[in-house]
């Protein structure tokens, strides 16, 4: 049994190492339009015509979101930063969530299956201590 498990794990590791990430032409076209883009969403109060910033999204040179911030009338509510596995595939490797005082509150790191689906999500506290692990299971009905 141990020998069988070792063979299976070796095959999975080899397929992950040799895996090429496929990105659809539609995704690449969308990314092309968003290269180095910053999108600001504004809200306006209908009665007083007061305007405030609602959300900001910042995209990198590959057209992927690298930062997302949501605001309220008093200032920042939360902010997320994203790091990716590589320049082409664009799978999120790490997310850092910040609170309204711009202090980290949660760090998420991801592992992916050979077919590109999420396998595990590791949730860390700001001090680096592992808080929880989420495992994704995909069940296809016939």
Enter the tokens of residue 84: 């990716």
Give the global pTM: 0.74
* 3-state DSSP helix/strand/coil % of the chain, to nearest 5: 20, 45, 35
CATH tag for 23-135 (out of 3.40.50, 2.40.128, 2.70.98, 2.20.25): 2.40.128
**pLDDT tens readout for residues 48-73:** 988 899 999 999 998 899 999 999 88
What's the pLDDT score for residue 57?
A: 97
Residue with tokens 């998420």: 108
Residue range 12-62, pLDDT digits in tens: 444 444 344 567 788 778 888 888 899 999 999 899 988 899 999 999 998
Distance separating alpha carbons of residues 59 and 74, to the nearest angstrom = 25
**Alpha-helical regions (H) of the chain:** 2-18, 25-33
Which residue ranges make up each domain of the chain? 23-135
Which tens digits make up the pLDDT trace of 105-139?
Answer: 999 999 999 888 999 999 999 999 999 999 999 99
94 pLDDT more than 70: yes
Under 8 Å between Cβ of 102 and 76: yes
**Distance (Å) of CA 105 to CA 2, 9, 102:** 40, 34, 9
Binning pLDDT at 50, 70 and 90, where does residue 7 land? very low
């Amino acid at each position: 049994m141990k020998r069988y498990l070792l063979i299976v794990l070796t095959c999975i590791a080899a397929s992950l190492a040799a895996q090429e990430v496929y990105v659809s032409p539609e995704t690449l076209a969308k990314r092309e339009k968003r290269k180095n883009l910053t999108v600001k969403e504004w809200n306006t109060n209908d009665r007083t015509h007061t305007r405030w910033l609602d959300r900001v999204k910042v995209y990198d040179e590959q057209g992927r979101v690298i930062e997302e911030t949501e605001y309220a009338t008093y200032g920042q509510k939360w902010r997320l930063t994203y790091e990716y596995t590589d320049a082409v595939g664009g799978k999120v490797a790490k997310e850092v969530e910040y609170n309204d005082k711009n202090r980290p509150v949660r760090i998420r790191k991801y592992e992916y299956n050979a077919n590109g689906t999420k396998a595990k999500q590791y949730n860390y506290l700001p001090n680096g201590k592992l808080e929880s692990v989420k495992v994704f299971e995909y069940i296809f009905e016939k």
